[in-house]
Amino acid sequence: MSEFKTVRGMRDFLPKEAQALRYVESKARKVAELYGFGEIVTPIVESYDLLSAKSGDEVRSRMFAFKDLGDRDIALRPEFTASVARLVATTLRNEPRPLRLFSVGSVYRYDEPQKGRYREFWQSNFELMGSSRPEADAEIILLTDSLMKTVGLKSYVFKIGHVGVIRGILSKEKLDEKKQNEIMQLMDHLQYDDALKVVQDAEASETCVKVLRELVNLKGDRIFEVMNKIKECVKDYESATTAAENLQEILKLVTESGCRTHVTVDAGFARGLEYYTGIIFEVTVPELDIALGGGGRYDRLIELFGGNPTSAVGVAHGIDRIMLAMQEQKVTWKTNGTRKVVVVPVRETLKIDALKIAQVLRDAGIVVEVDVMGRKMAKALEDADRRGMDYAIIIGEKELKEDAVVVRNLKKREQSTVKIEKVIENLQA
């Protein structure tokens, strides 16, 4: 029989990796708490119609979709936003605004597997619903900054743009939404020449093509200088100008609130998903050419799900990629720091005592393993040492008679006889 393997694109997380995953997850939870986002837990499986309602063709074609035994069309969530939107359009319809909602968990996309790109991956997702004001956008950027900082990343960059700038120009040229999406899609893949060709073929004016050509080259980290150039470039397009002013205001709020993070503005920046209506942003690190997180504003989404018109801005952070970036930047982090103890009976007949003492120690919060291999003492100690245990508690008859055990410090290779009632104190010293 051939060996079983994980399904292509799926991975196992062994204890060290799982610990890293949970560590980043715990930091995301902490950020959610600090920014007042309440956690919601939604199903991994949703109806295909819900998940495909707002996603563009690209996401739709990469969903894990199938029929359940009741012949329902269902799919594994490719992101959290659709589930959150479903809730906001239904159960949370009449809740006072704003709603600050946080989720964390696995999502599924039939992407081509490679470094940092998997078919099952983990995201932390934040949605702020009910405010169209720039301070809401700023909060989403700032909380993303907090997460990157708190996991210990040393260098990362925000790339920020605004879909309203390019869409504003294309709308004035009477290009319909479908055409605009096609153009944004090409820009998202950095195929600017192809995008401009579509604009030309759609019979947009010469000026429009010229303005767009100039616009997609406006980028850089002298953000307010770039913003002035963008505004100058689109000055004849009213809604593009409003969009540029909105972006400038958000950048002002972010930088003047004291955020020192490296930010670049990119006027030609487009993110794949079609539902964005305002700012869009991504976080990257110099060591990887893939984004660690991305988000933006989508003010029409909730309506699309049948809810009341609700402004919304949100972000999804790729936890796997944050873990990769931490490795690349050699970020070290402390585990809970508790000492690890193994309890070994010197003979078979003492195993009940070993279990009993282990329970007493665990009740005091000490991490304890009981030897379950029935090894000879020397072998058991050698194994504990190999596995990085700190202490061995040796249960022997002679000591037990005096209500004591031997506590061996495996790192210092010293041992002493300690009264059972003093063991906890001794280990915590």
CB-based contacts of 71, cutoff 8 Å, min separation 6: none
Q: Closer CB to ligand AMP, residue 48 or residue 110?
A: 110
| Contact range with ligand AMP by CB under 6 A, out of 191-199, 236-244, 286-294, 377-385 | 286-294
Q: Which of 11, 117, 339, 375 binds ligand AMP (CB under 6 A)?
A: 117
Token representation of residue 295: 């988000």
Give the integer Cα–Cα distance in Å for 361 and 255: 50
* Distance of closest approach, residue 318 Cβ to ligand AMP, in angstroms: 2
Q: Closer CB to ligand AMP, residue 186 or residue 380?
A: 186
Q: Closer CB to ligand AMP, residue 261 or residue 415?
A: 261
Considering the rule CB under 6 A, would residue 167 count as an interface residue with ligand AMP? Answer: no
Considering the rule CB under 6 A, would residue 127 count as an interface residue with ligand AMP? Answer: no
Q: Which of 95, 111, 402, 421 binds ligand AMP (CB under 6 A)?
A: 111
- As a whole number of Å, the CA-based R_g of the chain is 28
Query: Over the range 29-47, which residues count as b (16 or more CB within 10 Å of their CB) and which as e?
Result: bebbeebebeebebeebbe
Among 156, 124, 143, smallest CA distance to 331 is for: 156
Residues 246 and 134 sit within 8 Å (Cβ to Cβ): yes
* Distance of closest approach, residue 66 Cβ to ligand AMP, in angstroms: 19
Question: Which phi and psi angles does 106 have, rounded to 5°?
Answer: -90, 145
Considering the rule CB under 6 A, would residue 314 count as an interface residue with ligand AMP? Answer: no
CB-based contacts of 24, cutoff 8 Å, min separation 6: 124, 151, 319, 322, 323, 326
Considering the rule CB under 6 A, would residue 86 count as an interface residue with ligand AMP? Answer: no
Residues 37 and 126 sit within 8 Å (Cβ to Cβ): yes
Q: Which of 87, 292, 323, 427 binds ligand AMP (CB under 6 A)?
A: 292
Strands 340-345 and 391-395: parallel
Sign of CA dihedral 282, 285, 287, 292: negative
| Contact range with ligand AMP by CB under 6 A, out of 31-39, 177-185, 195-203, 318-326 | 318-326
Considering the rule CB under 6 A, would residue 291 count as an interface residue with ligand AMP? Answer: yes
Token representation of residue 282: 């991504």
* Distance of closest approach, residue 123 Cβ to ligand AMP, in angstroms: 5
* Distance of closest approach, residue 37 Cβ to ligand AMP, in angstroms: 17
* Distance of closest approach, residue 202 Cβ to ligand AMP, in angstroms: 27
Block residue for tokens 């907090």: 146
* Distance of closest approach, residue 352 Cβ to ligand AMP, in angstroms: 49
Which residues form the interface with ligand AMP (CB under 6 A)?
79, 109, 111, 116-118, 121, 123, 291-294, 316, 318, 320-321
